[in-house]
Structure 1
């Protein structure tokens, strides 16, 4: 028997959902993006260069807003197993894009992450659906339910 094929009676471990993995990873990467963007806003607080139309000059307020958004993104990354978690993740894309009001480049970078989020939702669903179809056609290699 080859190493690629399970032996009779082997318990086959269920695969993790691609949708959950993709969306969770995207939100975690966005949390890092927000931390770095917050650092940029903080560094530019006394400068007119690179600033957006919304001005926050208090370092404490900048870090509070950025930190809360980053924390929310990390928390949301852990609840992507439910449709409500994915809906909340979709709503969280708005403040990430909104950071462009503080640093205009965030409109572009945040937009890239919105596109990544949409791809994570669509591609993750597709991979999960194709895995389920494959498992239905090949029950001998399908993960055990218990």
Structure 2
């Protein structure tokens, strides 16, 4: 699960940065505000890569996904991109756990089998 979810978070890191560049063109937002919000979100996405196996890591990831969708009020394309990344996040968690379970079963089966002589 960690590999898939971390890959999604790294992709979000870049999307957030590019969204910040687009948001800078909005006259109602200051450059400092844009980069403070984007910087915090970018750092959060990187920190979450290491927190995925800790309690609350996945939930913080969902909070980031919600924040990306809400950022669509400032950069309308982020409604679409946020929804896409939320779907990727769900798939990363859902299928990543299934892969982890299959690996654990395979390892247990390999351990239980006697070694050929």
TM-score (norm 2): 0.89
Aligned partner of 1:35 in structure 2 is 17
Larger Rg: 1
Q: Structure 2 residue aligned with 1:87, among 49, 59, 71?
A: 59
Query: Aligned partners of 1:110 and 1:28: how far apart in 2?
Result: 14
Query: Aligned partners of 1:121 and 1:83: how far apart in 2?
Result: 14
1:64 aligns with 2:45: no
Higher relative contact order (CA 8 A, sep 6+): 1
Q: Structure 2 residue aligned with 1:106, among 75, 78, 85?
A: 78
Q: Which 5+ residue runs of structure 2 have no aligned equivalent?
A: none
> Is the partner of 1:82 in helix, strand or coil?
coil
Length, aligned pairs only: 113
Retained in 1: the 8 A contact 2:2–2:96? yes
Query: Aligned partners of 1:27 and 1:66: how far apart in 2?
Result: 14
What do residues 52-111 of structure 1 show as CA deviations (whole Å, max 9, x unaligned)? Answer: xxxx42111111111111111111111111241111111211111111011111100110
Aligned partner of 1:21 in structure 2 is 3
**Which structure features the higher share of helix residues?**
2
Q: Which 5+ residue runs of structure 1 have no aligned equivalent?
A: 1-18, 47-55, 142-146
TM-align CA RMSD: 1.5
